[in-house]
Structure 1
Amino acid sequence: MDHGTHGATGSVSLDVTALLVRLALLLATAIVAGGGLFEAKPRFTLAGVSAALAAVSAIFFDVNVVAAVIHAVLVLAVPLLLARKLPVARWVALALLVLVVVETSMGRSGIEFAADTVYVAGATAWFGLAQLKEKPPRYGALTLSLGLLLVVAGAGQLLLSGVAFDRRLYETLFGWSLVVVVVVPLVVVFLRGRRWAPAGIVVAFLAWTTFVALPAPAVLPVPGVPLLTTASVGGQDIPVLVSPQRPGRNLVHVPASAGAGLSIAGVPLTQRAGAQGYWAEVDLPSGRSDLDLGNGSGSASFEVDAGSGAPVVTNQDSPECASAALGGLVAGRKAPLARCPADYLSDDDADALRKLVGFLASRHANAIRLVGDTSRRGVASADVVRTSAQQQGIRLTDTPEPNAALVVVSGWTTASSTLTQAAEAQRSAPTYTYGLYLAPWLLTGPLANTVSASTVPLRFDPREQTAVTYTVALGDAFGGESPTVDGFHQWLGTAAPQQSVQLFSSAQVSAMPMYPGEPEAPGMPMYGEGPGHWIPQATVVPVSSPLE
Structure 2
Amino acid sequence: MPVVLLAQGGGHSHTLSVGVSIGPTVLRIALLAAIPVIAGFALLRGFLAEPGRRSLAGVIMAAGVVATLELLLSGGLNLSQRLVPLLLALLALPLYLVLSRDERFRPAVDRARRYAPWVFWPAAALAAWQFVLAWFAGAGTARTATLLHTGVLLAVVALAWFVITRTRRAASTMSVRFGAAALAMGLIASGAQAMVLRPAGTVPGVAVAAEVDTGDGVVDVLVVPNLPGWNLVRVTEAGVAVAAVGGDFVPAVARPGATGAWAAVELPAGPGEVRVRRGGGTGSLTVDTGTGDPAPALLAGPDGTECAAALLGRALGTDAPVPDGFRCPAGALSDADADALRDVVAAVAAQGHRWLTVAGDDSPRGRAATEVVHAAAAAWRLEVRPPAAVAARPGPMVIVSGWTAAATTLRTRPHATVHTAPWLAMEPPRAPGFGDYGTDLRERFPGVEPSVSGYRAWREARAGAAPDDRAAP
Per the normalisation by structure 1, the TM-score is 0.46
CA distance in 2, matches of 1:394, 1:232: 57
Q: Choose from 216, 219, 223 the match for 1:238.
A: 219
Match of 1:70 in 2: none
User: Per residue, is there more helix in 1 or in 2?
Assistant: 2
- Answer yes or no: is 1:316 the counterpart of 2:293: no
Q: What's the CA shift string for 1:377-420, capped at 9, x where partnerless?
A: 11111122222222223221115463521110011222121111
CA distance in 1, matches of 2:340, 2:412: 25
- Answer yes or no: is 1:435 the counterpart of 2:404: no
> Which amino acid is the alignment partner of residue 218 of structure 1?
P
Match of 1:491 in 2: 458
3-state SS of the aligned residue for 1:481? coil
Match of 2:276 in 1: 293
3-state SS of the aligned residue for 1:345? coil
Q: What's the CA shift string for 1:50-101, capped at 9, x where partnerless?
A: 9xx8xxxxxxxxxxxxxxxxxxxxxxxxxxxxxxxxxxxxxxxxxxxxxxxx
Instruction: Tell whether the 8 Å contact from 1:288 to 1:305 is kept in structure 2 after alignment.
Output: yes
> Which amino acid is the alignment partner of residue 254 of structure 1?
V
CA distance in 1, matches of 2:416, 2:279: 49
User: What is the CA distance between 1:238 and its match in structure 2?
Assistant: 3.1
Match of 1:12 in 2: 141
User: What is the CA distance between 1:490 and its match in structure 2?
Assistant: 2.0
Q: Choose from 191, 201, 205 the match for 1:220.
A: 201
Q: Choose from 350, 371, 376 the match for 1:388.
A: 376
3-state SS of the aligned residue for 1:13? helix
User: What is the CA distance between 1:475 and its match in structure 2?
Assistant: 3.4
CA distance in 1, matches of 2:433, 2:192: 36
Instruction: Tell whether the 8 Å contact from 1:12 to 1:237 is kept in structure 2 after alignment.
Output: no
User: What is the CA distance between 1:351 and its match in structure 2?
Assistant: 1.7
Match of 1:264 in 2: 243
Match of 1:253 in 2: 234
| Aligned residues with identical type, % of pairs | 32
Q: What's the CA shift string for 1:259-299, capped at 9, x where partnerless?
A: 42433342222234554422223232221111211211422
User: What is the CA distance between 1:486 and its match in structure 2?
Assistant: 0.7
Match of 2:161 in 1: none
- Answer yes or no: is 1:306 the counterpart of 2:293: no
CA distance in 2, matches of 1:297, 1:388: 56
3-state SS of the aligned residue for 2:286? strand
Q: 1:379 to 1:6 in 2, by over 3 A?
A: farther
> Which amino acid is the alignment partner of residue 353 of structure 1?
L
Match of 2:353 in 1: 365
Match of 2:41 in 1: none
CA distance in 2, matches of 1:17, 1:421: 47
CA distance in 2, matches of 1:17, 1:295: 16
State how 1:408-487 maps to structure 2 within 5 Å.
Answer: 408-423=399-414, 435-443=417-425, 460-462=427-429, 466-487=433-454
User: What is the CA distance between 1:484 and its match in structure 2?
Assistant: 1.6
Instruction: Tell whether the 8 Å contact from 1:369 to 1:406 is kept in structure 2 after alignment.
Output: yes
Instruction: Tell whether the 8 Å contact from 2:394 to 2:417 is kept in structure 1 after alignment.
Output: no
CA distance in 2, matches of 1:291, 1:389: 48
Instruction: Tell whether the 8 Å contact from 2:210 to 2:221 is kept in structure 1 after alignment.
Output: yes
By relative contact order (CA 8 Å, sep 6+), the higher-ranking structure is: 2
Q: 1:297 to 1:282 in 2, by over 3 A?
A: same
Match of 1:349 in 2: 337
Instruction: Tell whether the 8 Å contact from 2:361 to 2:401 is kept in structure 1 after alignment.
Output: yes
CA distance in 1, matches of 2:452, 2:419: 15
Q: 1:364 to 1:318 in 2, by over 3 A?
A: same
Q: What's the CA shift string for 1:285-314, capped at 9, x where partnerless?
A: 221111211211422211122222344873
Q: 1:383 to 1:16 in 2, by over 3 A?
A: closer
Q: What's the CA shift string for 1:233-264, capped at 9, x where partnerless?
A: 34754332323433333332224xx3424333
- Answer yes or no: is 1:329 the counterpart of 2:310: no
State how 1:26-65 maps to structure 2 within 5 Å.
Answer: none
User: What is the CA distance between 1:481 and its match in structure 2?
Assistant: 2.6
Instruction: Tell whether the 8 Å contact from 1:345 to 1:381 is kept in structure 2 after alignment.
Output: yes
State how 1:154-173 maps to structure 2 within 5 Å.
Answer: none
Q: 1:209 to 1:278 in 2, by over 3 A?
A: closer
CA distance in 2, matches of 1:322, 1:341: 10
- Answer yes or no: is 1:378 the counterpart of 2:357: no
Instruction: Tell whether the 8 Å contact from 1:239 to 1:478 is kept in structure 2 after alignment.
Output: no
User: What is the CA distance between 1:373 and its match in structure 2?
Assistant: 1.4
User: What is the CA distance between 1:212 and its match in structure 2?
Assistant: 6.0
Q: 1:209 to 1:403 in 2, by over 3 A?
A: closer
Instruction: Tell whether the 8 Å contact from 1:12 to 1:215 is kept in structure 2 after alignment.
Output: no
3-state SS of the aligned residue for 1:304? strand
Per the normalisation by structure 2, the TM-score is 0.53
3-state SS of the aligned residue for 1:381? helix
CA distance in 2, matches of 1:206, 1:354: 68
> Which amino acid is the alignment partner of residue 439 of structure 1?
A
> Which amino acid is the alignment partner of residue 419 of structure 1?
L
User: What is the CA distance between 1:321 and its match in structure 2?
Assistant: 1.0
Instruction: Tell whether the 8 Å contact from 2:425 to 2:452 is kept in structure 1 after alignment.
Output: yes
Instruction: Tell whether the 8 Å contact from 2:337 to 2:422 is kept in structure 1 after alignment.
Output: yes
What count of residue pairs does the alignment treat as equivalent?
A: 299
CA distance in 2, matches of 1:328, 1:299: 31
> Which amino acid is the alignment partner of residue 485 of structure 1?
V
3-state SS of the aligned residue for 1:262? strand
Unaligned runs of 5+ in 2: 1-130, 153-173, 466-471
> Which amino acid is the alignment partner of residue 377 of structure 2?
A
> Which amino acid is the alignment partner of residue 440 of structure 1?
P
Q: 1:404 to 1:14 in 2, by over 3 A?
A: closer
Instruction: Tell whether the 8 Å contact from 2:318 to 2:461 is kept in structure 1 after alignment.
Output: no
Unaligned runs of 5+ in 1: 24-44, 54-202, 424-432, 445-459, 499-546
Instruction: Tell whether the 8 Å contact from 1:10 to 1:215 is kept in structure 2 after alignment.
Output: no
Q: 1:323 to 1:230 in 2, by over 3 A?
A: farther
3-state SS of the aligned residue for 2:201? coil
CA distance in 2, matches of 1:331, 1:294: 32
CA distance in 2, matches of 1:213, 1:303: 16
